Amino acid sequence: MTPSPDALLPPLGPRQELVLLARTLLQEGYNDHLAGHITYKQSDGTFLVNPWPLLWDEFGPDDVIVMNQLGEKISGKWQIPLGIPLHVALHQLRPDVVVLVHNHPLFATTFANAGRVPPPYDQSSALGGGTVVLVDEYTTAVNDADAARAAAQAMGSADMALLANHGVMVTGISIRAAHQRAVALEQRCKHAWHVEAIGGGHPLPLEAQERSSLSDGNKFIGFWEAMARREIRRDPSIVAGDVR
């Protein structure tokens, strides 16, 4: 029997979900100092964004910024991250994307810099499903609107991208889906690095990849919730305030 998500976590508002996504991904290697942005689309068309210049384990629900579809701040006491034009461009091209994560995790960025998408060698590396593409459009920093648009266009309909000489982009239809895909992408690259370092191996067969993918990443009830609970134990203040 599939457990109910409501039974696995305390009530969470969207700001708390965003904070927990940042905290959980930090533990998975999404920890390149001040780098990285998360946008979380709301039902009114606005976006919640992590603030600049706070670390991903440093900001709380009260620090979250609200911005409009053009990347302009509506409310919040901090600045919008410098690289947010990349998010704006992709959200404009992909209205299906609810959550968008950008960061520079070590192993995925290493493969991005090498210009290669590694195969999944194990089932955990395939969790969350989705297609991964290499985007080699890094002509200048993505706080430049034209460069951001070119990178977003090059990503096309893919669910994840390795950005050559830069980092990664991960999409999801929910916080849970984005978390699952982001974790699996870095694990995929990390395991591939180690497998190939000892002489290589056999990639996970396509049929097994499909069985392991759990479709869009939103159907693996329990994984995101377990990681979020761990962060709540570390910092109960995340859920101490208003859940709105």
Condensed to tens digits (0 to 9), the pLDDT of residues 68-124 reads: 999 999 999 999 998 999 999 999 999 999 999 999 999 999 999 999 999 999 999
Per-chain mean pLDDT for the chain: 92
pLDDT for res 212: 74
Fold adopted by 5-229: L-fuculose-1-phosphate Aldolase (3.40.225)
pLDDT score recorded for residue 1? 55
Q: How far is CA 97 from CA 25, 38, 49, 145, 148, in A?
A: 18, 12, 14, 19, 16
Domain ranges of the chain: 5-229
The pLDDT of residue 140 is 65
Q: Cis peptide before 53, with omega less than 30 degrees from 0?
A: yes
Q: Which residue has the higher pLDDT, 146 or 138?
A: 146
- 128 pLDDT exceeds 90? no
For the segment 167-192, what is each residue's pLDDT rounded down to a tens digit? 999 999 999 999 999 999 999 999 99
Helix (H, G, I), strand (E, B) or coil at 96: coil
- pLDDT tens per residue across span 46-57: 999 999 999 999
Q: Is it the case that residue 243 has pLDDT exceeding 60?
A: no
